[in-house]
Structures are given as structure tokens and as C-alpha cells.
Amino acid sequence: MGSIQLPNGDTRLYYQDRNNGSIIEVVISNAFTIGVYETSLVLVPSSQVRSNSPVAVSLVADGDTFLQVHTFFFSPENVLSQYYWETGVGIQGGADCLTCVTSKGFVGVAGSQMLYAMASSATSPPTLRVGFVSAGSPNTISEAVNTGSGWSVASLSS
């Protein structure tokens, strides 16, 4: 499960539906104490998500404006995968998304629940980092990183 808070206070929750396996986005107008449920939708179809996949989310904002929301998960083949929403573009994702980490084919360890995501707007373009256990380096943490010129992966060394 992952969540973000938009600059205006709105909340987005992301989780894998236990009944059909899709990733759901839940829209809430603010914190639960003052906000209300607005809507929910299927963000990622179940055919693209590994059963029991972890979900990680990051937000790219510029002051009071949110520019991108990135959702990361594993495909049924354990490929690190991504859908994202971008201002002026809408939702991008799936096997045909050339700007998504999915297109790089980075494979995670089967069944691993380790997944994190972070974004920094301090750089232009923003930097995205996604941590996971790579099948190629299963005894450490790897990070897929995009600094604006495409995705690369590196493993943590001691």
C-alpha cells in the first residue's frame, strides 16, 4: 500500500485489490479527520500486477502544484513496473510506456515485498528513485534511478 498527500491536502491511497488483483487509487479530499471519500478507480489492471505485489508511490510537485504521481509494483513476471499521472498528459503505463521503468525490464526477486519510491523536485528535471531486491543482486538492495535521461539500475555495495 502506498499513499501521497497533494500540496492542497488531498490524499491518494494505492493498494492491490485482494479480490481481483488490480491496483486501486482512492481519492480523499483531505486527511480523514476533515476530508471525505470522493472516488476510487482501477489504476492498473490485474493482468499487469503480480499477485501479492507491494505498491510504492512518489509525488513530484512544484510548490502548490503537483506535476506527477508515480505508482510502482511488480508484474506477474516480477518486472519492476510503473504507471504515472502527469499534468497535461494524463495516465501513462503498461508494456508500451517507453518512459516507464517497465520498459527497462529490471527483474525483482520472486515474492519479494521490498519496494520503496521517492522523488526529488530539487533537481530539474526531477529525480525518481525506486528501491527493490533485484534478481541480479538478490543479497542487497538495488535502486532504479531516473534523473531525466532514462532509467538505470545500481546495487548497494558495502
Instruction: Calculate mean pLDDT across residues 94-101.
Output: 94
Q: Does residue 125 have a cis bond before it (omega within 30 degrees)?
A: yes
Provide the pLDDT for residue 57.
Answer: 98
Cβ 94 vs Cβ 82: under 8 Å: no
| pLDDT, tens digit, 9 for 90 and up, residues 4-35 | 999 999 999 999 999 999 999 999 999 999 99
Cβ atoms within 10 Å of 117's Cβ, excluding its own: 23
Cβ 80 vs Cβ 108: under 8 Å: yes
Cβ 22 vs Cβ 83: under 8 Å: no
The yes/no answer on whether domain 48-155 falls in CATH 2.140.10.10 is no
Q: Does residue 138 have a cis bond before it (omega within 30 degrees)?
A: no
Q: Where are the domains of the chain?
A: 48-155
| pLDDT, tens digit, 9 for 90 and up, residues 102-158 | 999 999 999 999 999 999 988 888 899 999 999 999 999 999 999 989 999 999 987
